[in-house]
Chains A and B, each alone.
Chain A
Amino acid sequence: METNEVFEKVKGLFVEDLGIDESKVTMEAKLEEDLEIDSLGIVEVVMAFEDEFEIEIDDEELSDVSTVGQAVSLLHSKI
C-alpha cells in the first residue's frame, strides 16, 4: 500500500469515526494540539488502526508518533 493510500484511510478513520473536521487532517497536523486527540483518544485511534489494517501496535511504537504523518509512516512500515 502506498503512503498516500495509508493517509487517505487514516483520514477516513479520523473524519468518519472520530468526528474530526476533514480540513484539519493533514500530514503535518499534530494529533494532540491540532486534532484534539487526548490520551484516551489515542487508545481509540490505535484500536481503529489495528482493526482497519489488521496489525498490532505496541505502546513503545507510539512514543515517536505525534503527527498524522508519523502515524502514517508507522502504519506504512507495518503493513
Chain B
Amino acid sequence: MSKRRVVVTGLGTINPLGNNVFDTWNNLINGISGIDYISSFETDELPVTFAGEVKNFDANDYMGKQHARKLDRSGHLSIYATEEALKDAGFNTEERLGADVGIVFGTGIGGIGATEEAVRTYDKRGPSRINPLAITQLMPNSSTGQVAIKFGIEGPSLTITTACAASANALGEAKNMIQNGIVDTVIAGGTESGTTAMTIGAFAQIKALSTNNENPKKACKPFDKDRDGFVMGEGSTVLVMESEESAINRGADIYGYVSGYGASTDAHHITAPAEGGRGAVDAMKKALLDAELTPSDIDYINAHGTSTPANDKNETAAIKTVFGEKAYDINISSTKSMTGHLLGGGGAFESLVSLLSLKNNIIPPTINLNNPDEECDLNYTPNAAIEKELYAAMSNSFGFGGHNGVLVFKKS
C-alpha cells in the first residue's frame, strides 16, 4: 500500500519579521533584519543587548486581559499563530476542531519566563505568594494544551522538546501521524519565547551568542568568516498539515507536500556537533529516502545556519557528504540571519520559509555574508534573494543534546 501523502494547507506565524505570513515573506525576500536592541527588559548588565523580538503585539488587545494574564507569552504567540494558520486553511475558528485533529508542538525551554518569575517571588515572599498559574505557564506543554483548549483539538497531542530541533521533529512526527492514518489533520508547529535576562546571560556564558552590540542587525552572519555566535529570537509558527485526500475533499488550497522526514542523534556532546556533522548527514539521508528523492532533486536547502563557528562549518561538511559535487549547485540560505535563532520554533518557521520558496520560486538570502570562509564554500545565496524554478526543498534543524531533524518538501 502506498503511503498517504501529507500536505500543508494553512500557515500562521508571528516572529521578529512580522505578525503575519505576508509581512514575514516580504521582509525575508528583501533581506530585512528583524533583530534589534532588546526592548522588553533592561540589558545594562548583560554581555548581549539585542535579540529578535516579536514587535507590536499586545496579548491583552488580542485575547482580552482576563484570558491573556493566565498564559505565558509562549501561549499568547502560539494561539495567535494557530488562529492565523487555521483561518488560512479555511477552518472556522469559532467551532471545536474535534477528535479527528491532532496537535504536535515543539519548544526548547517552554515558559522559562514564568519559571524565573515564580522563583523570584518565592525568594522574596515565600511559597504562599507564588503565582498559582506558575505551573500551568511554565510547563513545556503549556502552549500545546492552551491551543488545544482554545480551538477544541481533541485528537492526539504531543509536545516535543529537542531544543532547536523541536519543531522540525514536531512536523516530522505530525507527518507520521497522518501517514499512519491516526488522524487526518494535525496542527503542527513550534514556539519559543525564552529571551530573558537569565537565558541571555546563560547562553553568553557558553560563548554561544554573538556579542556584536554595536550593530545588532549585522550580528547574525551565518557562514561568514567573522561569524561569532547566534542571536536569540522569539516567535511562533504553525502549519495545518493534513492528508492529501482530506485537503482535496475540503477544497483547500495546498501550499506543498511534506514528503520526507529524517531524525537522528549525534550521541557525541551536549552542545557541539559531531565532527563532520555525522548525525546531520544521517538525518538528511533519511529524509531524502523517506521523500523518495535523490540528492540531485533538491533545489534549495534552508540551512540550520546558526552563525556559530561550529554549526556552520559542520553543517557545510555534512551537506557536502550527502550531496557530493551537487552540493555546490544547490542554493542554500540561512534565514536566521534575519530572524535570529527561533530555537524550538525554528524548524516550523524554516519549514514555512521552504514551502513559500517552493510556491513562489524565490529563495530568500543569507544576509550579512560578506567574508567567505574557506570551510564554508557552498552557495549560501548571499545578501540578495534569487528567483529560480523550484521543485523540492530541504530544511535542517539541529539542537543541543545532539538532536537532528530534517524535513523535505515538494511542490507537487
Residues of A whose CB lies within 8 Å of any CB of B are: 18-21, 36, 40-41, 43-44, 47
Contacts and interface: CB of A to CB of B under 8 A. Distances in A.
Interface string B115-134: 00000000000001101110
A44 B132 contact: yes
A47 B132 contact: yes
B66 interface: yes
A46 to B, nearest CB: 9
Contact of A19 (B69, B128, B131): B69
Nearest to A40: B132
Given A19-B60, A19-B65, A47 B129 contact: yes
B136 interface: yes
Contacts of B67: 19
B137 to A, nearest CB: 10
B64 interface: yes
18 contacts: A18-B65, A18-B66, A19-B60, A19-B64, A19-B65, A19-B66, A19-B69, A20-B66, A21-B66, A36-B66, A40-B70, A40-B132, A40-B133, A40-B136, A44-B132, A44-B133, A47-B128, A47-B129
Nearest to A37: B66
B68 interface: yes
Interface in B63-118: 64-70
Given A18-B65, A21-B66, 7 more contacts: A19-B66, A19-B68, A20-B66, A44-B131, A44-B132, A47-B128, A47-B129
B119 to A, nearest CB: 17
B70 to A, nearest CB: 8
Contacts of A36: 66
Nearest to A24: B66
A63 to B, nearest CB: 18
Nearest to B64: A19
A33 to B, nearest CB: 14
Interface in B222-242: none
Interface of B: 60, 64-70, 128-129, 131-133, 136
Contacts of A43: 132
Contacts of B136: 40
A41 B70 CA distance: 9
A9 to B, nearest CB: 19
A35 to B, nearest CB: 9
B112 to A, nearest CB: 20
Contacts of B64: 19
The 10 closest A-B CB pairs, nearest first, are A19-B65, A43-B132, A19-B66, A40-B132, A44-B132, A20-B66, A19-B69, A40-B133, A18-B66, A47-B129
Contacts of B131: 44
Contacts of B69: 18-19
A38 to B, nearest CB: 9
Nearest to A14: B66
Contacts of A41: 70
Contacts of A21: 66
Nearest to B60: A19
A44 B69 CA distance: 11
A18 B133 CA distance: 12
A29 to B, nearest CB: 14
Nearest to A16: B65
Nearest to B135: A40
A18 B65 CA distance: 7
Contacts of A47: 128-129, 132
A47 B132 CA distance: 9
A44 B66 CA distance: 12
**Which of A19, A20, A43, A44 gathers the greatest number of chain B CB atoms within 10 Å?**
A19
Contacts of B60: 19
A68 B340 CA distance: 48
Contacts of A18: 65-66, 69
Nearest to A36: B66
A44 B133 CA distance: 8
A20 B136 CA distance: 20
Nearest to B133: A40
A19 B58 CA distance: 14
B169 to A, nearest CB: 30
B64 to A, nearest CB: 7
Contacts of B129: 47
A61 B296 CA distance: 72
A55 B145 CA distance: 35
Nearest to B131: A44
